[in-house]
Structure 1
Amino acid sequence: MPSLVVVTIQSALLKVAANITAQTLSQWGAETTLGIDWARVLEFALFGLISAPLISFWQQVLEETFPTQNGPIEPNPHAQPPTQKPSQRYQTNWPNVIFKLVLDQTNGLCFTNIIFITCTTGARVQSIGLLFHEIETRILGILKAGWKIWPVVAFVSFLWVPLQWRVIVTSLVGFGWNIILSFLSR
């Protein structure tokens, strides 16, 4: 099981790699290149360092409040005795999965993307009012783009990825997503 520090570092490194990849791709084939904008890379690193622990906490709260699995299924006492030792089976709690998915894709995604916008534009705006304006202007477009991929990732993650690995799995999928965000945040 990875520690929170390891997960946070991995998340930051994946976001850095995604941003460098996006910058490289955006300059591919251009007659003149501007090189890597290291301030942008640093913004994505900051986003990874801030968001990973918060997302880990969020995932833990969701799972503890709305567990994906109900406890072991009790064998039917009237059924034929098994010929081999029964394994413990758990039953998926579908209402919890759906409720968790809705919460994650509304509150969780909105909060994460507000952090993203703050990390990637906060140092370049002159006032908190301009930062709020930037968030207000961009959040819906980023959410709409995110809803094309993240509900599926979250659904699969809730069903088949153990809690302690969810941030890493979503960070790996997020590598591609962060390339897209790099283009959206220019």
Structure 2
Amino acid sequence: MGLSPITTATIQSAILGATSNIVAQAITAYRGDKPFIVDWVPVFQFFLFTIVSTPPNFMWQDSLETAYPATTSVPSSEAISSASRSNEKELDREAREGKLVEAKLNVPNTIIKFILDQSIGAAVNTLLFSLFTHSIQQAMSHRTTGPDESAAFLVSGWGSSDGPLDYSQVNWRLVLEEAKSEFYPIMKAGWALWPWVSLFNFVVVKSVEVRSLVGALAGMVWGVYMSLISTR
């Protein structure tokens, strides 16, 4: 039995999310004229965030499509022509071939989905990204090793106080303040990309599964940008 659409979307997004962070590290190393050594800690952080965030985003897109379908069934031009000529034979043929109706873009529904996605959806995603990123960075701030030992740091001590993740050292008040301070700058930066992705998905792409893939590919570009600013 094949994987469910939501599982497939999560795997695709996680791989692309991790890749975007590696690309960002390569760009940073090139700009700084330094040797490129993959630091697996931020890669793990972005990978984990994508694993956590993709399923609810998939369900969000699915709920939008269920509530506001992209298309409306209308009589096809062939059916209208046949009906105007009272050609029952042609109408019967078109009925057998499934050509009596055709899908037409529902413009009001598309506008509603676009507004909801770029307001509520964008705001929630921005806030959750900041909260997740700053909290996990603090939870791993006890790390003392460099990039060349990052893989060893990640696999050591799971389930013990010496593990890579220690959320007891997270200052949640500081995390919230940082999330609030960068909320508008991230939203503003996102307006250069995500409205176009959203519009393309709602107007051109018909299935939620393909929309998720398009979003993941755009998210890779966005992930490079977010990886670069998260290390500042």
Distance change >3 Å, CA 176–CA 8, structure 1 → 2: same
Give the C-alpha shift of residue 168 in structure 1.
1.3
Give the C-alpha shift of residue 131 in structure 1.
1.2
Partners of 2:36 and 2:181 in 1: CA distance = 27
1:11/1:171 contact within 8 Å kept: yes
Give the C-alpha shift of residue 173 in structure 1.
1.5
Distance change >3 Å, CA 2–CA 157, structure 1 → 2: farther
Residue 124 (structure 1) aligns with: 137
Matched, 1:134 2:178: yes
Residue 93 (structure 1) aligns with: 106
| Deviations 1:108-158, CA, capped at 9 Å, x for gaps | 011112222122211234321111111101111111111111111111101
Q: Secondary structure at the match of 2:73?
A: strand
1:40/1:120 contact within 8 Å kept: no
Larger radius of gyration: 2
Higher mean C-alpha deviation, range 29-38 or range 154-163: 29-38
Residue 28 (structure 1) aligns with: 30
Matched, 1:79 2:87: no
Task: Give the TM-score taking structure 1 as reference length.
Answer: 0.90
Higher mean C-alpha deviation, range 98-107 or range 80-89: 80-89
Partners of 1:110 and 1:185 in 2: CA distance = 18
Distance change >3 Å, CA 31–CA 170, structure 1 → 2: closer
Task: Give the TM-score taking structure 2 as reference length.
Answer: 0.73
Residue 197 (structure 2) aligns with: 153
Q: Secondary structure at the match of 2:84?
A: coil
- The amino acid that maps onto 1:79 is S
Partners of 1:37 and 1:108 in 2: CA distance = 31
Partners of 1:133 and 1:154 in 2: CA distance = 29
Residue 146 (structure 2) aligns with: none
Partners of 1:168 and 1:35 in 2: CA distance = 29
Q: Secondary structure at the match of 1:36?
A: coil
Give the C-alpha shift of residue 2 in structure 1.
5.5
Q: Secondary structure at the match of 2:176?
A: helix
Residue 214 (structure 2) aligns with: 169
**Sequence identity, in percent?**
28
1:46/1:119 contact within 8 Å kept: no
Give the C-alpha shift of residue 166 in structure 1.
1.2
